[in-house]
């Protein structure tokens, strides 16, 4: 028995509207790369070059060689400064991660008021670190700060003069500023979780707490790490 052969299908080569046939769209990243080089790389190399000079910020710049580096590396307080820096990083990470995850899961809802809260939560990230440092220094001043103004004895303390209190203040301010960024990433990760997973979990009798630890937490962490890459 013989049959009719299917008609031959002619496959035409696809063309890339952005760069022609087989073209590349890498040139579209050039504006962002130029901005990054102008505001990121140029100041970085400028500061690196200034580290080999002697300059008070006003007068002439004089070459100093490795004198500044030698003074820093031989400073007896360098190990303690590095230890405090890594301690602030570790404590900030330990505080930011769970707070960012909870806020991101909360903002992943579809209620209208959550969009307003998302904007309010994102405001700290828009402020500069210098502005936040000056603001919190004024607010925590034991003589003229918010504690003295409101008459709250607990807030009238030497927050920045005591070592333990100052460490806690720095960790809080750093976490308060960067929690919105991580919460935004977790929010996007949670919204990518299929709804069918939650529906299946509800059918199996899983409550919200079990759904959070079995579905939301592992899925949002995996998807958020992929978004960071």
In the chain, where the domains are located: 30-74, 77-191
Q: Residue 9 has what pLDDT? A: 47
Mean pLDDT confidence for 5-25: 52
> Is residue 229 scored above 70 in pLDDT?
no
Mean pLDDT confidence for 192-215: 85
**Cα–Cα distance between 167 and 85 in angstroms, integer?**
10
Q: Residue 2 has what pLDDT? A: 47
Report helix, strand or coil for 20.
strand
Output helix, strand, coil percentages for the chain, rounded to the nearest 5: 65, 5, 30
Q: Residue 5 has what pLDDT? A: 47
What is the chain's mean pLDDT, rounded?
Answer: 82
State the pLDDT confidence band at 226, using cuts at 50, 70 and 90.
low
Q: Residue 41 has what pLDDT? A: 93
- Class of domain 77-191 (CATH, top level): mainly alpha
pTM of the model: 0.68
Q: What is the pLDDT of residues 170-192, one digit of tens each?
A: 999 999 999 988 888 888 888 88
């Amino acid at each position: 028995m013989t049959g009719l052969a299917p008609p031959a299908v002619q496959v035409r080569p696809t063309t890339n509207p952005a760069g022609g046939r087989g073209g590349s769209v890498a040139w579209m990243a050039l504006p962002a790369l130029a901005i990054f080089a102008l505001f990121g790389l140029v100041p970085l190399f400028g500061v690196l070059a200034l580290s080999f000079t002697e300059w008070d910020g006003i007068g002439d710049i004089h070459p100093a060689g490795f004198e500044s580096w030698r003074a820093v590396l031989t400073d007896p307080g360098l190990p303690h400064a590095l230890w405090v820096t890594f301690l602030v990083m570790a404590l900030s990470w330990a505080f930011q991660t769970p707070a960012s995850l909870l806020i991101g899961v909360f903002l992943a809802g579809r209620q209208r008021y959550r969009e307003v809260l998302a904007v309010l939560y994102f405001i700290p990230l828009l402020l500069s670190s210098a502005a936040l440092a000056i603001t919190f220094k004024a607010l925590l001043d034991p003589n003229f700060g918010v504690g003295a103004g409101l008459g709250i004895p607990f807030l009238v303390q030497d927050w920045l003069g005591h070592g333990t209190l100052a460490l806690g203040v720095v960790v809080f301010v750093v976490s308060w500023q960067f929690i919105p960024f991580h919460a935004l990433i977790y929010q996007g990760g949670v919204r990518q979780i299929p709804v069918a997973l939650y529906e299946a979990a509800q059918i199996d009798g899983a409550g919200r707490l079990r759904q959070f630890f079995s579905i939301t937490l592992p899925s949002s962490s995996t998807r958020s790490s992929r978004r960071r890459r």
